[in-house]
Amino acid sequence: MNIFKKYFTSDKDFKENLDSQENYELISEAQVDFANGAIEIFNPLLRQFGFKLFKLKITEYGTTIIWIKNKCFIELSSYSHPYDAPSYYGIVLGEFKTDYYHYADLDCVGLWRLKAIQENLAEVNDNPFPFGVDIQSSLIQTKEDLLKYGKGFLQGDLREFYYARNKQWNQ
């Protein structure tokens, strides 16, 4: 199901409005396709573990999708600005300190960090941003990584998450 297609306006259909009160932001088709794929692939899985879709934001050069469960969150975000190459996307697992609107980088751990700790790897990074036909396969691989390296977090066991978070603070 393409939840964005009916709201998405391509550049060729965009009509300039001279009213200074109107503020339009163009959304790239690549980010819309990425967000559609992410929702289709991750939403059913995360719902099985009790996470609910909390926030969805798509801009011209990025996407942010957040799912929450109790005081825990999973954020999938992408960035594809041409001046800041390479484009990437990644998942962070986190814990809210106070409420759902206030969290910091210190409250989360990248899925790549859990993978590096569990596989004893020296260096792991976020995924390159996929375009076109590569979106589906890339997101499926990331989903499999989430199940493999973040399963405890998904099930509510935060021991590995706390270990990884403490390790990143003490580096």
- The pTM assigned to this predicted structure is 0.80
Note whether residue 164 is domain-resident.
yes
Tell me the residue range of the domain where 84 lies. 25-169
What is the spatial distance between Cα 13 and Cα 134, in angstroms, rounded to a whole number? 26
Note whether residue 7 is domain-resident.
no
Note whether residue 12 is domain-resident.
no
Which residues partner with 58 through β-bridges?
A: 63
Note whether residue 2 is domain-resident.
no
The tens digit of pLDDT for each residue in 46-56 reads: 999 999 998 89
List of residues 6+ apart from 78 with CB closer than 8 A: 31, 34, 62, 63, 87, 88, 89, 90, 129
Note whether residue 124 is domain-resident.
yes
Q: 78 and 88 in contact (C-beta within 8 Å)? A: yes
Please report, in angstroms and rounded to a whole number, the separation of the first and last CA atoms in the chain.
43
The tens digit of pLDDT for each residue in 36-82 reads: 999 999 999 999 999 999 889 998 889 999 999 988 999 999 998 88
Note whether residue 130 is domain-resident.
yes
Domain tally for the chain? Answer: 1
Note whether residue 11 is domain-resident.
no
Note whether residue 95 is domain-resident.
yes
What is the spatial distance between Cα 142 and Cα 156, in angstroms, rounded to a whole number? 20
141-to-28, 60, 106, 136, 145 alpha-carbon distances in Å: 23, 25, 26, 9, 6
Q: 145 and 111 in contact (C-beta within 8 Å)? A: yes
